[in-house]
A and B are shown apart, each in its own frame.
Chain A
Amino acid sequence: SSNEHKLNFRKSKEACLSYIQDALLQKQWKRAAEFLTCYVESLEKDYSREHIGPSEIIWRIGSEILWHHSQSSMKEFNCFMEQMKTLGVKRYLKVCLEHVFHLLCNGQIDEAYQSLSLAESWRFGEQTAIQDKEMKLIQAYRGLLDYCSWSKQKNILLEHGEDGFSDLAVEQEMHGYFRKAAVNLKEIIKIPGVWDIFVKCYVDLLEFYGDHNEARQVLNEYAYNSKFPANPNAHVYLYQFLKRQGESKKSLISALKILHDIVPSHELMIDFNTMLQKSKKRKKRRLGLEVIFAALDYAGWKENAKAWSCLARQVKQIVVSEKHLDWIKQQWNSRKDWWPAFHFSRYLAKRNWQENKSLSYEKALVAGILLGKDCKYFKYVSHQGCKAQLRRFRMLKKFVNRHNTVCLRISG
């Protein structure tokens, strides 16, 4: 009966698919390709109501095989993709996008651009939400390629400009690219998402044409719109833009303060700390100490000599001046139960001494101040340093011994 036939057909289809899957997972591309040619038959009698139909399966597996098969060529791949595009209406845009990605990764920028333009003009009935998103992405990537062409022209012009020679046609072409790119890029960055690359390009365009207000607005929106994810890069771009614009310290600090609040372990925290330390305001210097302490909480900063030297410098300053010891004390209070084991163990003293002497110097200074001269880390490093007859380590020992009363006040 036909029902039985359907059942058998489904079974053999599934078996075939599992063979293909097996071959793919073992990187047996030729074997997978042979099975796939059999699987194509499933297109003819597609009874499935599954989430992923056979046409999508063939597209996915086929492109995977063609990526890796030793005898496949770009031409074949393009041919396959063209066929796949016509196979499923619902997936047309998705397949186009993936095709473009592959062309881009293989350096075929012009073909990719053509493919994008074609896809952009595609219309079929009413668009679903997903198709809408895909269409926006297609437009955005076309904008990106337009930007690439623009920047190429710009470089040509700049080179020629040095020669004191300007080409009107090239310039006009460049402006054309600008307009096309700007329209498309502007659209996508309005939608919540991670659009680092598009935002960067768009801001670059705007800055070139002197539209700083628009650029600032775009970056502010990207960083502070609550519908967007908390992307650290958005704040970094804003900070970099403000820096380029020569904005005041105050606005730079406020931009970095927000970055500090969302990502205390960001690498810009060193810049932030130095900026704050230079400040004359007590509040800012206090914030600087907080920032560097917070950064050193993270495992990724454990061996960052620069950060340790920032902390050591500031802590030393405070100890020498004997002002604001309470700042250190406050920071230390929430850390004294775990920093000794996390940073200042004897094992780490040994390892740091072996691997990075200057790191161990900075850490030993901080340890000596925070934990006193009996701290294991300080004792080991200063002992090793004195044994190796290094002057700065002798100085360090003297310094800590001299300020031991202060140290006791902090740790007490």
Chain B
Amino acid sequence: MEFPPTLFSSYFGSGPPREEGGPAPVAGWGEHGQVLEGGPGRRQVQPAFVPRRGATGERWEAAEAAAVPVLLPSADSWIPSPSPQDILYRSSLCKELRAGESGATLDFPRQLGHFFVDHPEDAFGSLGRLLHKNFYLGNSKLKVTVSRNSTIRMTALLEDIDRLEARRGCPRQHLASRLRWFSHLCRDWLFEVPLGLLADCLHEELVQQWSSLLFDDSLTGGALAWLPPEDGGTPVGRLVHPGGQAMNHLYFQDVLLEELPRARGSPEQFELSGRIRQVAAARVDGQDFVGVRSDYHCGVWRVSGKTGAAPTPLQVIRTDVPASCLTVSPHLPGELSVCTQSGTVYLWSVETGLQQLRHDPQTMFFRDHSPWRWSDFTAHPRVLSCADRTGLQCLDARAPKRCHFDLFKVGEEAGCQQGERVVLPMYLGKAHPSQYLVTTQFSVYVLDERLPLVPVLKWAHMMKAPPLFAQLMPGKPGRSHKVLLGASRTQDLLLVQYRGGSQSACQLAGTPQKLHSITECLQHLPTQLPHRHHLLQQRLAAPAAGLAAALQEDGPHKSMVVFQLSEAGDVFCQRLNHKAAQPPAPPLRDEATTAPGSSPLFEAPASSPQGLGAAALRYRRWLRALSRVCREPPQHTWPPSLSQRRLFTRRDLEGPAGPSSLQRQMRQRLRQTMQEGGRIQRWEPWALQPPPLPQTLELAGGPDPLSARLTAAWAGDWEQWWEERTSFSVAQRQRALRERRRRQKRARGRRSLSASFTSSLTYQSELSELSDMGPSLRSPGGPSILSQRSSPPACSPPVCSPPPSPAPDEALLSSQSLRCRGIPKERRKTLRDYLSVWAEGPPEPPEPLGSQASQLCIPSSQSQLSSASQPLRKRPRMGF
């Protein structure tokens, strides 16, 4: 292989990097770097010079305005990986995270709490069983029995905890003494695992999760591979990608490279036992070898070159430490190299097994804490490169201890900056057998292993996140090599061109070009409903997980198809067409950028007879499939507010399927008023008929006590009414109580402890506690919280969910609505009492006389209501 006769000039220093570094937003622009004599006209009178950077490159233009989905979303719903919101303490989220990543406060208590709730057996197993009898979870006061001395009531404690949660972030937060007392008492013995140890482990895990959120190097290399079609055959290649809910299914999908790549047939599928981190592929002797890496397992498949041939799994290895790298040899069939986080490099041959080349937990050139290691092949099939964050070394597999040389060092040799670290090394053998690509968070380097340590090309890539994926598309002689760089978190995709390496020195060609990222297509999609938009946004903005590219030459027409995989398992692609060197024609979308919503994607192109572009149709189908998959929107975590869970279960608060009669009435009224152009002065439904006519109420099923009372008072015989009522109600109440006791006795046998939770008495006591909570409860915002909770997004799509009820308390209070919400009779009263705290005793419509067996309780509830409406009276208690 030829070596360039002259190289670009550069200084060569040694030692640690001297240049002070930092993210430089524009460091890659406006520089030629160096020049070299020897352009095309060397023997001319005037010497010609060529620059290291700034030579003209090939023109590639995107065919579509956005990346287009290749495959339909898989049927399994996607579990997003943890977001900062899950890990960080809430108040610190408000500040921008970039202020200092180390300054982030991890939400340790919440996670520990999650652990206790999710794994109670592991957390409290044996002691929990031992103490089972001594913890009382009911709401009622403990009776004076034998157990009194050895049983404590946990409910109050739980309330305290809830209250604490509700006051989170409140400046006047104080610890409840009861909680302090309890934790002081049992911190040392209650837990199955010693709390200190558990906390250490959890903290370690949290820190690790957070750091992987900032930079996840397990994805290095990318989990997407393209197996190109054989030369001259049909343009059907194969896409190898992970999928499934846990990304543990490996798919081999035939893809037809048309104007828009299209999946053909159903994919070959393999289920693996771990999340797929990396998929690497290389073609040797007409066969593709596909290496797949998950944390503790690596596997290799063989796909013969014929189209339609089934992939054959060849071998699997298991590692004790997570593997960080798997690369496939481009020279010899069935050879791979594997690195683990413990610093071991293996040459893995399917025929002969594993050969350990190096084991060194320390980094090579200076100390760096990262356990990440990488290895790849070089121009010599027996020489492997191995890399850590500090640089690259080449080892001879035949004598790894003796024969090695340094290929790249983070230091003055390559003109690095302080703090610069190797992110992804890649062998560029397809472009030039001795070239190597090294990316760091700041720059990309092209190295020639014949001239180690001195990069033959260096360019500051200015990407916002370090490029974890790279893809090479070699150019034929005389044309430029194309390198695609991809970042994970930001989905950045950059196309860089370079040429040279044998007859002439390496040069960057043209300017770098940004390609569409997956998330950018959002602005081209038709407007969505807000929650759908949010879902879509979340889905499309999932970090990238892989990158693959195919170069297609069809006579004079050359194009490149770039595939991008997201962590949600979506594969998107975009096509770039090569424009032959023309005088700078006005670029298509140069001056006018597309405004959101109005997209060329969804405009009917003149050439297309169907009216809509193929891309738009593809999107339609994808969106439809996605909406099927994501029928269940994720549960949103609201900021903690006052918990009403003690009063109502979720089921209690579920709204009726359709709008209630009250709502219908209100809507009708609203519509009517709008038609008339009038205004609504009072929102009560009764305001329709200003004087509340007793007749109408009677029609609804007998007068309610209040209107009966008022009618009586109006007529002047109020006293008589009262007499009648008390005598009636005492008798009725006694009857009801007797009945209830009988029922309770009958039921006691099969009732568990917690079932006593529903007894009305507890609610009384709770109510008294609640009313002590102070004015915040009485705030007018209270009921609206209730109404929000009454329509949880899970049960009915918000499209048809009723608008917030105009008078929630009334709506809630009406017995029909309470019953149809499934609230048991004995709790309806408590509910009404509770609500009466905020709304001044709304009139109670009488219970309709149903034919239910529990009807006997009605009088009692009525009497209690009457007592509630007369606050001066002592509240009736059970067994009075």
Contact = CB atoms under 8 A, between A and B. Distances in A.
Given A30-B590, A31-B590, A233-B3, A63 B30 contact: yes
Nearest to B333: A341
Nearest to B450: A263
Interface in A230-248: 230-233, 236
Contact of B54 (A56, A60, A61, A67): A67
Interface string B30-70: 11111111000000011111110010000000000000000
Contact of B21 (A51, A140, A196, A200): A51
B24 A28 contact: no
B48 A107 contact: yes
A32 to B, nearest CB: 10
Contacts of B29: 24, 60-61, 63-64
B6 interface: yes
B597 interface: no
Contacts of B48: 107
Contact of B511 (A27, A31, A230): A27
Interface stretch (A168-176, A293-301, A323-331, A388-396): A293-301
Given A52-B24, A265-B379, A197 B9 contact: yes
B591 A104 contact: no
B451 A26 contact: no
A60 B11 contact: no
Given A231-B451, A299-B379, A348-B285, A17 B21 contact: no
Interface residues of A, number: 74
Contacts of B511: 24-25, 27, 64, 68
Nearest to B417: A51
Contacts of B330: 299
A52 B25 CA distance: 8
Contacts of A22: 514
Given A109-B47, A300-B1, A28 B9 contact: no
Given A51-B21, A230-B451, A341-B333, A200 B514 contact: no
Contacts of B494: 25
A299 B380 contact: yes
A82 interface: no
Contacts of B50: 105
A176 to B, nearest CB: 19
A230 B513 contact: no
Given A26-B514, A67-B54, A233-B5, A192 B12 contact: yes
Contacts of B13: 192
Nearest to A24: B29
Contact of A70 (B3, B10, B433, B584): B584
Nearest to A144: B37
B514 A25 contact: yes
B7 A298 contact: no
Interface in A51-95: 51-52, 56-57, 59-64, 67-68, 70
- Interface size range of chain B in the complex: 35 or more
B821 interface: no
B454 interface: yes
B27 interface: yes
A341 B334 CA distance: 10
A347 B25 contact: no
A133 B735 CA distance: 104
Given A24-B511, A27-B511, A68-B511, A193 B434 contact: no
A300 B451 contact: no
Contacts of B299: none
Contacts of B12: 192-194, 227-229
B49 A31 contact: no
A252 B513 CA distance: 48
Contacts of B434: 265, 298, 300
A194 B382 contact: no
A219 to B, nearest CB: 14
Interface in B408-463: 413, 429, 432-434, 450-454, 462
A50 interface: yes
B286 A57 contact: no
Given A52-B24, A101-B34, A105-B32, A300 B381 contact: no
B691 interface: no
Given A107-B46, A200-B6, A25 B11 contact: no
Interface in A85-134: 98, 101-102, 104-105, 107, 109, 129, 133
A320 interface: no
Nearest to A262: B450
A193 B10 contact: yes
Nearest to B330: A299
A62 B31 CA distance: 11
Interface of A is mostly: helix
- The interface centre, meaning the residue of A31, A70, A297, A341 with most chain B CB atoms within 10 A of its CB, is A341
A191 interface: yes
B785 interface: no
A197 B450 CA distance: 18
Contacts of B512: 25
A200 B7 CA distance: 11
Contacts of A141: 35
Interface string A183-194: 000000001111
A51 B332 contact: no
Nearest to A133: B11
A8 to B, nearest CB: 15
A267 interface: yes
A266 interface: yes
Contacts of A342: 331-332, 381
Contact of A267 (B2, B379, B587): B2
A233 B587 CA distance: 43
B878 interface: no
Given A105-B32, A299-B331, A196 B6 contact: yes
B26 A60 contact: yes
Contacts of A236: 3, 5
Nearest to A50: B22
Contacts of A195: 9
A59 B3 CA distance: 35
B159 to A, nearest CB: 44
B866 to A, nearest CB: 61
A31 B8 CA distance: 33
Given A61-B29, A197-B37, A229 B454 contact: yes
B174 interface: no
Interface string B231-262: 00000000000000000000000000000000
A150 B331 CA distance: 49
Nearest to B462: A21
Contacts of A231: 7, 451, 454
Contact of B3 (A98, A133, A137, A267): A267
A107 B339 CA distance: 50
A263 B331 contact: no
A275 interface: no
A337 B447 CA distance: 29
A402 interface: no
Contact of B1 (A51, A101, A301): A301
B398 interface: yes
Nearest to A299: B433
12 contacts: A17-B26, A21-B25, A31-B591, A52-B27, A61-B26, A101-B34, A105-B35, A105-B49, A194-B9, A233-B4, A266-B450, A298-B1
Interface of B: 1-14, 18, 20-22, 24-27, 29-37, 45-51, 54, 285-286, 330-333, 379-382, 398, 413, 429, 432-434, 450-454, 462, 494, 511-514, 584, 587, 589-591, 593
Given A28-B589, A148-B37, 11 more contacts: A17-B25, A52-B24, A57-B25, A141-B35, A193-B9, A193-B11, A196-B5, A198-B9, A230-B453, A233-B7, A338-B332
Going nearest first, the 3 A-B pairs with the smallest beta carbon separation are A300-B1, A60-B30, A300-B433
